[in-house]
Structure 1
């Protein structure tokens, strides 16, 4: 079951300002740091996950560690006594299916934020792999187009650049999450229509008109006369 995080309602103007980003000056050194993308959700490289003091100062409680299998020796949980980890072993290439892995990561992040936690999502460089997950999360969180979600993340961590395969999947995920939202709302609407129809049918049965009863009696008398 997917956990739903309570979201604040934003006007279109507020969302547009959020997409445009905070306007902070970007420096090369910031590539080695993590940035807050949404309240409680941070994105960064491996280096941001290696400083216990930094993680504590940011209030991090959960870490999503995304790595290529060949990087497992260096890209790994380091402070399992202090934080709750989710490790995703993937291949950092254009053929890797991220959409299949995303629901589990989303639920992990949702659960953390729902209970007041703060999450760091990182891969080795924080350039392609982990940003792809965060863009999909932001897209669904704010119900944005893939372009707006990408801009929102990129305007907070300027150095991100998902590879072509990941970018294609980000585009595909927009249709997937929108179809899921439509499916979630459809059964409720359908049940309401069915219930209204049922109540209408019940009312029709209970309000049988006197002439209908008389007609039924006449038909019965005619049947009896024919049989005599």
Structure 2
């Protein structure tokens, strides 16, 4: 199978039961975060919205259920999410190709704007994290993008306007990149300086051995 070229929708930072701490941390770094959202799935989030993508702080809602799919991961970046206009079509193509895809998931969260509350609605197509070589990878169909991308949430004190680069530490970049080649075609991922690199819209995704990550970031 070959889907259209990848475009990053957002990255997920799992903050578990530390969502208040994460909110303060990212605000101190100069990000303007959205008000806390509460998904019908039971999780809570804050977003740092950019021009075409965003960063999501995802944790447990106060006194709410613990989502097993995020509870199993430690605090930190654990989700790469790509854009799609049709989550169902992605599911059908991935299933036909024999990839470890999970059924389409539909959910929402209320958004209060100008004295009114509306539901932001989403459909996602996820891959089984037990059967792929990295955390959570999925596609997100935004059914109400006007409730997510708002100009008043895109003006960050630190000047951030996009996700430029996502670095994923992995012991076997080639194996980790296999899913992306299966989804987007062999030419979507290129080897470069010991890493596997894929363009995803305005962002670049890099699958990098831990020693190279340590040498670059310490």
- Bigger CA radius of gyration: 1
What TM-score comes out, normalization by structure 2 length? 0.25
Higher helix proportion: 1
Higher strand proportion: 2
